[in-house]
Amino acid sequence: MKHRAIFSLALILFVVFVHAPLLLPHPHVFIYNSIKVVFDENGLAGFRLKWVFDEMFSNMIVHDFDKNRNGHLEPSEIRDIKNGAFSNLKNFNYFTHIRINNRVFKVDFVKDFSAKIKDNALIYRFFVPCHVRAGSSFKEVRISIYDISFYCSVFLAKNPVGFENASSYEVHHQIGRNKKEAYYYGQVYPEELVVRFRRKTG
């Protein structure tokens, strides 16, 4: 069991990402993504992401990591999933692409990872810190979630955007496809969330 888990996860989260552009004509893992835009007293604090995985990938992870077969992920099992089926995504910026006022912001780390099983689907949640101080003029932040190898295909979930602690700010957002950042040989345009915000006046 342990050797099977190591092999399958290494295949998905390392080897395939390296060779996928040459070997794979279409995605093999499907992720439905939701984004919560989180503010604090200074401005933007970051993004809380929720990923819901397709049935096949969910079943594989559950089979390999739900050791007691109770349909619930214990803290030790979540820790194993983080180490074996999530942390390696650091090498790919956690599929998270951010621009602040049109300047690239590299995602080097994330926080508060959790995993659970709900309705037979594997769900990841984690927080992407991204601090942008608010002022009297608008700041613009763009975020899109995608795997440039296209081994994983990421879609926005139903009602994909929420806001937290935003009452002190004037916030506008829109969702669309970014045709300036096509990937996978220029064939795929990522879905992108654009957030503009500033401090409320008066």
Helix (H, G, I), strand (E, B) or coil at 8: helix
pLDDT in tens, the chain (202 residues): 545 554 455 555 544 444 444 444 578 899 999 999 999 999 999 999 999 999 999 999 999 999 999 989 999 999 999 999 999 999 999 999 999 999 999 999 999 999 999 999 999 999 999 999 999 999 999 999 999 999 999 999 999 999 999 999 999 999 999 999 999 889 999 999 999 999 998 6
Q: Please give the pLDDT value at position 17.
A: 45
> Which token pair is 179?
């045709």
58: left (phi over 0), alpha (psi -120 to 50) or beta: alpha
Structural domain total, the chain = 1
19: containing domain: 2-199
| Planar angle of CA 157, 163, 164, nearest 5 degrees | 130
DSSP 10-32: HIIIIIHHHHHHHH-SS-SEEEE
Which residue, chain included where needed, has tokens 């998905």?
12
pLDDT of residue 22: 47
Q: Residue 94 gets which letter from DSSP? A: G
Residue 88 gets which letter from DSSP?
Answer: G
Task: Cite the beta strand spans of the chain per DSSP E.
Answer: 29-39, 43-53, 96-100, 103-105, 111-118, 121-133, 139-145, 152-164, 169-177, 191-199
Pairing label, strands 152-164, 29-39? parallel
pLDDT value, residue 97: 98
